[in-house]
Chains A and B, each alone.
Chain A
């Protein structure tokens, strides 16, 4: 807790003959973070991939393209034996591919035919209501044929030119089929030009358009049926092979990682050197395993870590399981550096605390708790799980604060005797108990705490929480700085802030009359000088930030109140404005109630979540946290679908 895992730099040296076994063993134990070898001016060269690398990656590419084509998703399946898998991999992969190829080829040809039919139908559509066989449009010596669209009825015009004509006109699409003698062609063409005649190509086919279209329809139906059955058989293939694809993707990925490992390793003609990091408590296990698997033919040694190398140490969190989900919040910001305090455990406390303080409502806590468990169960994904766990922690805190505040979906649970008479609570007979007078604003502290009636007190209280949280940040910053640059630097950079604060507090006490103001002022000036020395001009500039940072914590009450007001407005509209009208209005009232609270539930994740997060990131982290550590990613693979 509070510190990343301790790492040891280890160098593994051996003869090339045992490189294969070494890489295998390292991959299996999955704890060694390989530091990639950089070839620049050195007698050592980067190693060559093992012989099978090409073939393995070829198969992997083949398999993955099939997998993405079929849309295979990760899922829970019984683990398969790797030996069996390897034995049948080639044959099964070939069979899968040929089966799939055959099906997709057929499907493609059908789809092309469908497209052809579509375009043919489009060509025929203008002629559909003209009952002339398509073959009658062409092949005349003394007749001219005009087929196309015009802007209006031309029958009167044409009869003015000639009597020997045959006209078909579709008034809907303005399509004409006009047959005239050849010698009249030019005059007719001129006349048609006035009517904005646009020629349409007549498809070179036989039969009337409507007949052909009917044929097309029936052919299309058959093809669609065939495609559906092909799709079904492809999804059958997916069903049958998905376990195999998932498992063999895994063994191939593992094999490909192993075979490409030499690319990270320094090699000479006969030896290899693997440089990297291992968690200190695993060092002995790694050494023992390596020695036994290679019959003691590799040599493992610890290396001293110099100060410059500290930047390169990969960082692995070292938190108890219950705190782990909050590492997601850390990663969103930045992974801690190796020598830095890892504040995950502190966030584990303060994030749900702030969230609960803001929301503090039994009703929403229960709804969101159910939602979080539901989502966790429904989506079994590694990305969503920690987020849902965080949400669950937050809701537990919300529930506790909800009981403290006595709120349920914006309704107060207890009745309150106030200046405006008695405000009834949701639970009959549950009376608010007066505890004592608050020193601020003359407000009465009660149980349950009615936030709407304690605004002044809570604003001051939340600002004080802010001061405490910020000072915790300065203390952590002090520890970090002391580790890095010694006590003096830490005192000037971080301690000075605390001195300044003490000065301000004493000055305020002096103002009230407890002690001379000069004491506070003097301490403030000392702190100010220290700050300027420690942080330079940046320090005094950031000084007012102290005020705005601690006032920023008043959001703990302000955002909470806005959520209460939204909820109670929904309740007001539903049960005091609509409900009393009776009849159908009752249904409407319930709809408003459900919709309003659904909206506020969504807001209840976003608003308190973001604000609690921001208080960590902006107000807290800026006091001590740097981040930017390298991720510890051990050479290995976590098997999900296979076992040896």
Chain B
């Protein structure tokens, strides 16, 4: 009986995995974007024309969390 209880529910593990996939990649994107974003804002303060380039550079790490989201969708 004890042994049976110790086995975790596969659905629960899946949910944990999905959560980790989104959560960790979200953190990673955030860490990567924070410096780029700050620099981009600085550049924009000097020259507003850099908005487009700044936006692009800032959102490049966004792909990480999108991959995380896709992985989470595939798991669940």
Chain A residues within CB distance 8 Å of chain B? 332-334, 455-456, 459, 548, 551-552, 554-555, 557-559, 561-562, 610-611, 613-614, 617-618
Contacts and interface: CB of A to CB of B under 8 A. Distances in A.
A555 B66 contact: yes
30 contacts: A332-B51, A332-B55, A333-B56, A334-B52, A455-B74, A456-B74, A459-B70, A459-B73, A551-B67, A551-B70, A552-B63, A552-B66, A554-B70, A555-B66, A555-B69, A557-B73, A558-B69, A558-B70, A559-B66, A561-B69, A561-B73, A562-B69, A610-B55, A611-B62, A613-B55, A614-B55, A614-B62, A617-B52, A617-B55, A618-B59
8 tightest A-B CB contacts, nearest first: A333-B52, A558-B69, A332-B52, A555-B66, A617-B56, A614-B59, A455-B73, A554-B70
Nearest to B22: A562
B8 to A, nearest CB: 22
A115 B32 CA distance: 53
Contacts of A617: 52, 55-56
B45 interface: no
A179 to B, nearest CB: 63
Nearest to B57: A618
A561 to B, nearest CB: 7
B55 A558 contact: no
Contacts of A548: 63
A562 B66 CA distance: 11
B27 interface: no
A361 B67 CA distance: 24
A310 B62 CA distance: 37
A610 B63 CA distance: 13
B53 interface: yes
B60 interface: yes
Instruction: Tell me what chain B mostly uses at the interface: helix, strand, loop, or mixed.
Output: helix
Q: Is the interface of A mostly helix, strand, loop or mixed?
A: helix
Nearest to A459: B70
Contacts of B73: 455, 459, 557-558, 561
Contacts of B67: 551, 554
Contacts of B56: 333, 614, 617-618
Nearest to A613: B55
Nearest to A562: B69
A387 B34 CA distance: 27
Contacts of A559: 66, 69
Nearest to A331: B52
A559 B67 CA distance: 11
Q: A555, A562, A613: which has the most chain B beta carbons within 10 Å?
A: A555
Interface string B39-62: 000000000010111011001101
A46 B51 CA distance: 36
A561 B55 CA distance: 23
A614 B60 CA distance: 8
B29 to A, nearest CB: 12
A446 B59 CA distance: 34
Nearest to B59: A614
A170 to B, nearest CB: 53
Nearest to B52: A333
Contacts of B52: 332-334, 617
Contacts of B59: 610, 614, 618
A614 B63 CA distance: 10
B4 to A, nearest CB: 25
A226 to B, nearest CB: 43
A200 to B, nearest CB: 48
Interface in B1-48: none
Contacts of A614: 55-56, 59, 62
Nearest to A622: B56
Nearest to A441: B74
A555 B60 CA distance: 13
A562 B67 CA distance: 13
Contacts of A552: 63, 66
A459 B66 CA distance: 12
Contacts of B63: 548, 551-552, 555
A520 B67 CA distance: 28
Given A332-B55, A618-B56, 18 more contacts: A332-B52, A333-B53, A333-B56, A334-B53, A455-B74, A459-B70, A554-B66, A555-B63, A557-B73, A558-B69, A558-B73, A561-B73, A562-B69, A614-B55, A614-B56, A617-B55, A617-B56, A618-B59
